Chains A and B, each alone.
Chain A
Amino acid sequence: MLKKPRLLTALDVLAALVILIAAGLVFFYAPVEQMMGQVQKVFYFHVGTAWVGMLGFMVAAVVGILYLRTEKEVFDIAGLSAVEISLVFFLVAIILGSIWARPIWNTWWTWDPRLTTAAIVELIFAAYLLLRSGVDDPGKRARFSAIYAIFGSVSVPLTFISIRLLRTIHPVVIGSAEAASQGGFNMGPRMKVAFFFSLFAFSVLFADLIWHRIRLGRLQSSVNELRIQAYEKES
Chain B
Amino acid sequence: MKTFLRSVGAIVWKDLKTEWRTRENLSAMLVFALLVILIFNFSLELDLRARESLAGGVLWATFIFAGTIGLNRSLAVEKDRGCLDGLLLAPVDRSAIFVGKAIGNLFFMLLVEAIVLPVFSFLYSISVFQPGFLGVVLLGSIGYSAVGTLLSTMVVQTRTRDILLPILLFPLTLPVVIAAVRASQGFIQGLPLNEFTVWINILVAYDLIFLAVAIMIFDYILEE
Contacts and interface: CB of A to CB of B under 8 A. Distances in A.
A151 B175 CA distance: 13
Interface in B125-139: none
Given A68-B220, A143-B221, A161 B202 contact: yes
B209 A154 contact: yes
Given A127-B171, A134-B160, A150 B198 contact: no
Interface residues of A, number: 31
Given A162-B202, A165-B198, A166-B182, A124 B217 contact: no
Interface residues of B, number: 34
A159 to B, nearest CB: 5
Nearest to A166: B178
Contact of B175 (A68, A140, A155, A169): A155
Contacts of B167: 126-127, 130
B154 interface: yes
Interface in B160-212: 160-161, 164, 167-168, 170-175, 178-179, 182, 195, 198-199, 202, 205-206, 209-210
Interface in A111-142: 120, 123-124, 126-127, 130-131, 133-136, 140
B107 to A, nearest CB: 23
Contacts of B168: 127, 130-131, 148
Contacts of B170: 123
B159 A136 contact: yes
B159 A134 contact: yes
B157 interface: yes
B213 interface: yes
A152 interface: yes
Nearest to B202: A162
Contact of A143 (B164, B174, B220): B220
Contacts of A152: 171-172
A162 B154 contact: no
A135 B159 contact: yes
A204 to B, nearest CB: 30
Interface in B41-64: none
A135 B158 contact: yes
A109 interface: no
Given A124-B171, A124-B172, A162-B202, A151 B160 contact: no
Contacts of A165: 198-199, 202
A219 interface: no
B158 to A, nearest CB: 4
A211 interface: no
B223 interface: yes
Contact of A120 (B151, B160, B174): B174
Nearest to B159: A134
A169 B221 CA distance: 39
Contacts of B154: 131, 144, 147-148
A140 B206 CA distance: 27
B215 interface: no
A96 interface: no
A163 interface: yes
Interface of B: 147, 150-151, 154, 157-161, 164, 167-168, 170-175, 178-179, 182, 195, 198-199, 202, 205-206, 209-210, 213, 217, 220-221, 223
Interface of A: 68, 120, 123-124, 126-127, 130-131, 133-136, 140, 143-144, 146-148, 150-152, 154-155, 158-159, 161-163, 165-166, 169
Given A144-B154, A154-B209, 18 more contacts: A123-B171, A131-B164, A131-B168, A134-B158, A144-B158, A146-B220, A148-B151, A150-B213, A151-B151, A155-B171, A155-B210, A158-B175, A158-B209, A159-B174, A159-B178, A162-B175, A162-B202, A165-B199
